[in-house]
Amino acid sequence: MNRTVFLLMNLLLSLLLIQSATAAEYDFNESWERVAALADSAQYEAANQVVVEILSKAQANDSAEQWARALIERTRFRSALGAQETAANDLMGDPWPDDPLWRDVLNIYFAHTLIEYHQRYSYEIRSREHIADPDSMDLKTWSTERLSREINGAFLRVWSNREQWGNESLGAWSLIVEPNTYPARIRGTLRDAASYLWVEYLGQLGHDESGQARGVDPL
């Protein structure tokens, strides 16, 4: 091996070690503080850019908590910037962490995002009933029935894992469940929260716009 090749290999190895150290030393807390400060001053686009940076670092480090949080916050900021459909499509299409608890957090948040989307665009969505593509993964084509199926599917995926995390405190779900905004009965375990949120959705689904019950079966 000639000296030039040897030096180049050493340089490449040094660069890789520097990149690895940089990734390991990334300060997530400091980055989230930057996000909060930008959001407080209504600089949502700038805050979203920091979140995208956090997401990249979290994926590189396989940090499930930071990964999930970044996906949620990116969806919130993009929605606030008027791109709710794009935000939901990206949340649905991007990779999720493998950790079961954080996937459940994302499933609940995905259901929440679809519920808000349907509430905001219900008139437009109803006009899609005869043109919706049943296999499309583009939110713009989804009918009311497709939205309902996806929402209930997300809740069902979470509920099927309840034995794994049911007795844990809200903890991780504080990203999507603010205890002070919900009844005391869901301020304890994750199972309580999942039950309440799903039943709450079914209760909304069980009434049409005139307030007449449509007879949805309870859990």
Sign of the Cα pseudo-torsion (42, 46, 49, 53, in order): negative
For the segment 156-176, the average pLDDT, to the nearest whole number, is 74
**Residue 38 falls within a domain, yes or no?**
yes
**Residue 219 falls within a domain, yes or no?**
no
The model's pTM: 0.76
- Report pLDDT for 164: 79
Which of 18-27, 82-91, 132-141, 164-173 is predicted least confidently?
18-27
The pair of three-digit structure tokens given for residue 145, joined into one six-digit string:
């029935």
- Report pLDDT for 197: 81
Rounded to an integer, what distance in angstroms lies between the CA atom of residue 193 and that of residue 170?
8
Q: Is residue 157 over pLDDT 50?
A: yes
Query: Domain range spanning residue 148?
Result: 3-205
**Residue 212 falls within a domain, yes or no?**
no
Most confident of 37-46, 183-192, 201-210: 37-46
**Residue 218 falls within a domain, yes or no?**
no
H/E/C letters for each residue in the chain? CCHHHHHHHHHHHHHHHHHHHHHHCCCHHHHHHHHHHHHHCCCHHHHHHHHHHHHHHHHHHCCHHHHHHHHHHHHHHHHHCCCHHHHHHHHHHCCCCCCHHHHHHHHHHHHHHHHHHHHHCHHHHHCCCCCCCCCCCCHHHCCHHHHHHHHHHHHHHHHCCHHHHCCCECHHHHHCCCHHHCCHHHCCEHHHHHHHHHHHHHHHHCECCCCCECCCCCC
- Is-contact 144 118, C-beta < 8 A? yes
Number of domains in the chain: 1
Q: Is residue 125 over pLDDT 60?
A: yes
**Residue 213 falls within a domain, yes or no?**
no
What residue type is 215 in one-letter code?
A: G
Q: Is residue 14 over pLDDT 90?
A: no
**Residue 49 falls within a domain, yes or no?**
yes
**Residue 98 falls within a domain, yes or no?**
yes
- Report pLDDT for 49: 96
